[in-house]
Amino acid sequence: MWVLLSSRLRTWLMLAVAVPVLRSILGRAAASAGRRNPGSKAARGLRSLETGLSRLDRRKRRRSRRSPARDGAW
């Protein structure tokens, strides 16, 4: 069924659903690892992955809020 969806729809689904869910899971795992040993490589790595997904999510939201100029150009 995944193959039947257009590439734009698949991309939108990944950004709208999978990224926030993954960011939430990584945030919880980073918090848990940080409580045990804040300076560990695992805690730092999980936190950096979560930060990267947050940036991707924010960039996606910023692009979706842009409106085209009156002449149709971005």
- As a whole number of angstroms, the distance between CA 9 and CA 42 comes to 34
CA-to-CA distance for 46 and 65, rounded, in angstroms? 29
Per-residue model confidence as pLDDT tens digits over 28-62: 998 898 899 888 898 889 989 888 888 877 766 66
Confidence of residue 64 (pLDDT cuts 50, 70, 90): low
Cβ neighbours of residue 69 closer than 8 Å, sequence gap 6 or more: none
Q: What's the pLDDT at 20? A: 85
User: Please, what sign has the CA dihedral across residues 45, 47, 50, 51?
Assistant: negative
pLDDT digits (tens, 9 = 90+) for 24-33: 898 899 889 8
- What integer pLDDT is reported at residue 60 of this predicted model? 65
